[in-house]
Amino acid sequence: MPEIGQSQTRQSHLPVAIEPGQPLTALAPMQDVTDQPFMAVISDCGAPDYFFTEYFRVHIQSRPEKHILHAISENHTGRPVFAQMIGEDVFHLARTARELLEHPVAGIDLNMGCPAPKVYKKQCGGGLLRDIGKVDEVLAALRETVPGLFTVKMRIGFEDTENFEPILGLIDKHKIDLLSLHGRTVKEMYRGDVHYDFIKRAVEVVQCPVLANGNITSACKALRVLEETGAAGVMIGRHAIRNPWIFKQIRQALAGQPVSKISLHEVNQYVKRLYASVSKPYAPEIAQVNKMKKYLNFVGQGVDRDGKFLHEMRRAKSKAELFAICNRHMPEGEQHLFADEPYEGVVARPNCE
């Protein structure tokens, strides 16, 4: 059982964890991934404590996107969902926050980390981290607008970490309720090691609970990161697509119980369930197959060490072909186990936020 940071004691007004007293777990927001069907599938494997929607884009003409609202209104997982926004216009951010608060959200989350150039070229997402004055203004306006939980998800800086401590000061000044911190700069995108030392620093400095985010690949790694950073919890993105049982496994590990082994057959069933859940009734089959490849890019990191499954599935042209490849690489039998950690050198295609 790791030493849990002091911030854990300050989470009383946040929704309670599935196992009260344990560090928190959250599914990271992921555009075009963390929609309502995906959240439902994840939840059946062992829900995280918190969900976050992909970001609602905010600008002068924006209205909250219907398909993202669906993840809130049709959330039957029993776990709270925070609505994330991205934008630079203070007036419209506040307006959108008010609109989102009419829905059953656990709170409003602000994206200050997106590294997509088309986003950060404006003063949005990770671009905000370059301008302390603007962060101050946006946080002040949203804090005033949101009577309940107002949370922030950010990176440790834009190009360097010069603004890190001043922005942590603003997190405190505006009484942010929860900080999710991806331990990389915007310019680092997803490359290289995660700077867990910066997450540790944030835990020491800010009043609110901190969720450590970035490369948390397994229950074992989650416990190591909790211990190293003292964070109040972990937020997991890509590795929950690969292994949707990760949240349940973390709870088991934290309770000192044996961590469930996952068979390749269970993974095969997960893939089929995901296919059925995320299928759009009138979408062409090939569009559905291609959509599945996005998830399977991650799943494949735990299927075989030579990356043969990934190689074959990327060439599938029909549902029957895709399922045949899954059946071949993920046969029945308890002896065929899914890897706990991604196989080294088996990489998912680079992606962007």
DSSP state letter for 21: T
Q: Pick the closer one to ligand FMN by CB: 105 or 329.
A: 105
Binding-site member from 174, 182, 200, 251 for ligand FMN (CB under 6 A):
182
Identify whether 208 is a catalytic site residue: no
Binding-site member from 195, 201, 238, 242 for ligand FMN (CB under 6 A):
238
β strands within the chain, DSSP E? 24-27, 50-58, 81-87, 107-112, 149-157, 178-185, 210-213, 233-236
Instruction: Tell which positions 9-28 bind ligand FMN, by CB under 6 A.
Output: 28
* Cα–Cα distance measured from residue 252 to residue 258, given in angstroms and rounded to the nearest whole number: 6
Residue span 288-327 as binding mask against ligand FMN, x where in contact by CB under 6 A, dash where not: ----------------------------------------
- Where do we find the tokens 């949005």? 124
* Cα–Cα distance measured from residue 81 to residue 39, given in angstroms and rounded to the nearest whole number: 10
Q: Pick the closer one to ligand FMN by CB: 302 or 329.
A: 302
Q: What is the helix, strand, coil percentage profile of the chain, to 5?
A: 45, 15, 40
Q: How far is the CB of 57 from ligand FMN (least distance, A)?
A: 10
Q: Which of 40, 46, 50, 77 lies closest to 273, judged by CA?
A: 40
Q: Pick the closer one to ligand FMN by CB: 17 or 86.
A: 86
Applying CB under 6 A, which part among 87-95, 230-238, 258-266, 309-317 lies near ligand FMN?
A: 230-238
CB 232 within 8 A of CB 8: yes
Q: How far is the CB of 50 from ligand FMN (least distance, A)?
A: 12
Kindly report the length of the chain. 353
Q: Pick the closer one to ligand FMN by CB: 119 or 262.
A: 119
Binding-site member from 43, 215, 229, 268 for ligand FMN (CB under 6 A):
215
Q: Please pick, among 45, 114, 124, 208, the residue that the annotation labels catalytic.
A: 114
CB 244 within 8 A of CB 262: no
Position 221 contacts ligand FMN (CB under 6 A): no
* Cα–Cα distance measured from residue 121 to residue 8, given in angstroms and rounded to the nearest whole number: 35
CB 330 within 8 A of CB 267: yes
Q: How far is the CB of 85 from ligand FMN (least distance, A)?
A: 10
Binding-site member from 75, 213, 297, 301 for ligand FMN (CB under 6 A):
213
Report the interface residues with ligand FMN, using CB under 6 A.
28-31, 33, 54-55, 84, 111, 113-114, 153, 182, 213-216, 236-239, 351, 353
